[in-house]
């Protein structure tokens, strides 16, 4: 797959001097609700109005969307406000109805992206259409699966492509509803720099109080846009009430957010930046060297355990180390989340090195 600047041209066509903003309710609930929100978002930084028509629920019994009737409400909102309309599609039937109702932007949800059969069905239904199509990351942290969804659409002749980073499910509890795993999105961005990258802080955070924080992180990482759930009465929304903001709160959010330049031409500034990056490079090289030395010690420990037929995993010591590292990290301004990730990775690598020694005949 060769993503070129042409695949991102749809974004440039908006001629914005700020990141793209997609906003609207998690779910279309009534015609009055859709029109009221759309009119409050008109003449703001919002370029695309979003609303869920079909809502995949984890368990049966929840609100699963109003269905086809909601598409007519979006049509009316488009006619009255001039905003482009966006909704989620999960199968070929959804695609057909969305096209019939002149929906401008279709996105594939996280639960659908994990299913290559479903994505291929959608790609076939969209073959060579002129719609903007956005692919949310899969629920699980799998970059290849995310890229695979984009590839299927690209091969179907879709020219206006983009991705939505909405975070990943995790067994461990974190402050996020869906852990952002920023590095996965950065890896995708580095691999396909001409693929529009949009952040969904609503689904990453799960709570409106954190949306500005995550939105700022996305802008600091040079994301192309944001998709934020917006409702006139968030507390009484029929789905995902806790993560939706009011139109007024959304407008204030964009007053408070700091828009970053990609770079600066000042020679003195660039020299200072290069100096600091050289320090970082040197420290990174030292880290790699230290990791290598640590693993060689782990192998020696593995030999000692092999001699006495002792189990590799020593939970008591591991928990003692982890507790100490969290406290030491806090003293140096490092978050518990960061320390856990780093030392769990180091511990896993140490186990692998010890296993090789123990299992060598």
User: What is the Cα–Cα distance from 194 to 196, expressed in whole angstroms?
Assistant: 6
Q: What pLDDT was estimated at residue 171?
A: 78
Question: How many CB atoms are closer than 10 A to CB 118?
Answer: 19
Could you tell me the pTM of the whole model? Answer: 0.82
Of residues 2 and 18, more confidently modeled: 18
Torsion on CA atoms 39, 42, 43, 46, rounded to nearest 10: 150
> Which alpha helices (H) appear in the chain, and where do they start and end?
9-12, 31-41, 69-81, 92-100, 110-113, 116-125, 143-155, 182-191, 201-205, 211-220, 247-256, 267-307, 315-331, 336-358
Residue 302 resides in a domain: yes
Q: What pLDDT was estimated at residue 337?
A: 87
Contact 230, 243 (CB under 8 A): no
CA distances from 193 to 21, 109, 268 (A): 19, 22, 28
**Domain range for residue 286?**
267-358
Helices 182-191 and 143-155 pack at an angle, to 10 degrees, of 40
Residue showing tokens 């955070």: 205
Average pLDDT over residues 320-326: 92
pLDDT digits (tens, 9 = 90+) for 116-145: 999 999 999 999 899 999 999 999 999 999
Q: Sign of the CA dihedral 192, 194, 195, 197?
A: positive
pLDDT digits (tens, 9 = 90+) for 261-274: 777 888 899 989 98
- Among the candidates 228, 256, 284, a domain finishes at 256
* Count: domains in the chain: 2
The count of C-alpha atoms lying within 13 angstroms of the C-alpha of 298, restricted to the half-sphere facing its C-beta, is 20
* DSSP designation for 259: P
pLDDT score of 260 more than 90? no
Mean pLDDT taken over the chain: 93
**Same domain (yes/no): 213, 297:** no
**Same domain (yes/no): 186, 243:** yes
From 160, 152, 198, 183, select the one nearest 4 (Cα to Cα): 160
* DSSP designation for 168: B
**Same domain (yes/no): 203, 284:** no
- Among the candidates 222, 256, 290, a domain finishes at 256
pLDDT digits (tens, 9 = 90+) for 62-100: 788 899 999 999 999 999 999 999 999 999 999 999 999
Residue 297 resides in a domain: yes
Residue 85 resides in a domain: yes
Of residues 259 and 152, more confidently modeled: 152
Residue 261 resides in a domain: no
pLDDT score of 361 more than 90? no
Q: What pLDDT was estimated at residue 265?
A: 85
User: What is the Cα–Cα distance from 205 to 226, expressed in whole angstroms?
Assistant: 13
**Same domain (yes/no): 130, 209:** yes
**Same domain (yes/no): 41, 140:** yes
Residue 262 resides in a domain: no
Query: Three-state DSSP class for 257?
Result: coil
**Same domain (yes/no): 282, 331:** yes
**Same domain (yes/no): 128, 204:** yes
**What CATH number does the domain containing 300 carry?**
1.20.59.10
Contact 5, 29 (CB under 8 A): no
**Same domain (yes/no): 182, 281:** no
Q: What pLDDT was estimated at residue 329?
A: 93
**Same domain (yes/no): 163, 274:** no
pLDDT score of 150 more than 80? yes
Residue 319 resides in a domain: yes
**What CATH number does the domain containing 195 carry?**
3.20.20.70
pLDDT digits (tens, 9 = 90+) for 166-184: 999 987 778 899 999 999 9
- Among the candidates 206, 226, 256, a domain finishes at 256
Locate 266 and state its tokens.
């000042």
**Same domain (yes/no): 222, 352:** no
**Same domain (yes/no): 68, 134:** yes
Residue 96 resides in a domain: yes
Q: How confident is the model at residue 335 (pLDDT cuts 50, 70, 90)?
A: very high
Of residues 361 and 44, more confidently modeled: 44
User: What is the Cα–Cα distance from 320 to 248, expressed in whole angstroms?
Assistant: 48
Residue 225 resides in a domain: yes
**Same domain (yes/no): 101, 245:** yes
User: What is the Cα–Cα distance from 54 to 179, expressed in whole angstroms?
Assistant: 24
User: What is the Cα–Cα distance from 245 to 259, expressed in whole angstroms?
Assistant: 20
User: What is the Cα–Cα distance from 26 to 228, expressed in whole angstroms?
Assistant: 9
User: What is the Cα–Cα distance from 215 to 272, expressed in whole angstroms?
Assistant: 28
Locate 146 and state its tokens.
């995310």
């Amino acid at each position: 797959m060769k993503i070129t600047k042409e695949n991102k041209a749809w974004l440039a066509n908006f001629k914005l001097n700020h990141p793209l903003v997609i906003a609207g309710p998690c779910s279309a609930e009534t015609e009055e609700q859709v029109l009221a929100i759309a009119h409050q978002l008109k003449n703001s930084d919002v370029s695309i109005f979003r609303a869920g028509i079909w809502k995949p629920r984890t368990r049966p019994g929840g609100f699963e969307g109003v269905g086809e009737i909601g598409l007519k409400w979006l049509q009316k909102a488009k006619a009255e406000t001039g905003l482009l309309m966006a909704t989620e599609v999960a199968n070929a039937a959804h695609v057909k109805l969305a096209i019939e109702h002149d929906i401008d932007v279709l996105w594939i949800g996280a639960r659908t992206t994990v299913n290559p059969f479903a994505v291929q069905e959608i790609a076939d239904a969209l073959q060579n259409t002129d719609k903007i199509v956005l692919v949310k990351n899969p629920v699980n942290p799998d970059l290849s699966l995310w890229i695979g969804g984009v590839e299927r659409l690209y091969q179907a002749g879709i020219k206006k492509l983009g991705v939505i980073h909405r975070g990943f499910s995790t067994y461990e509890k974190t402050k996020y509803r869906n852990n952002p795993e920023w590095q996965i999105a950065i890896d995708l961005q580095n691999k396909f720099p001409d693929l529009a990258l949009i952040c969904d802080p609503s689904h990453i955070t799960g709570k409106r109080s954190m949306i500005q924080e995550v939105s700022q992180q996305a802008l600091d990482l040079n994301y192309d846009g944001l998709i934020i759930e917006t409702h006139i009465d968030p507390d009484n929304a029929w789905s995902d009430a806790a993560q939706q903001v009011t139109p007024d709160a959304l407008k204030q959010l964009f007053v408070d957010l700091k828009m970053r330049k990609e770079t600066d031409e000042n020679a003195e500034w660039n020299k200072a930046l290069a100096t600091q990056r050289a320090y970082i490079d040197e420290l990174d090289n030292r880290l790699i060297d230290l990791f290598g030395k640590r693993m060689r010690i782990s192998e020696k420990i593995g030999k000692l355990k092999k001699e006495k037929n002792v189990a590799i995993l020593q939970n008591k010591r591991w928990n003692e180390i982890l507790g100490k590292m969290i406290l030491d990290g806090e003293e140096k301004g490092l978050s518990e989340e960061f320390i856990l990730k780093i030392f769990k990775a180091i511990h896993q690598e140490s186990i692998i090195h010890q296993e090789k020694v123990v299992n060598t005949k």
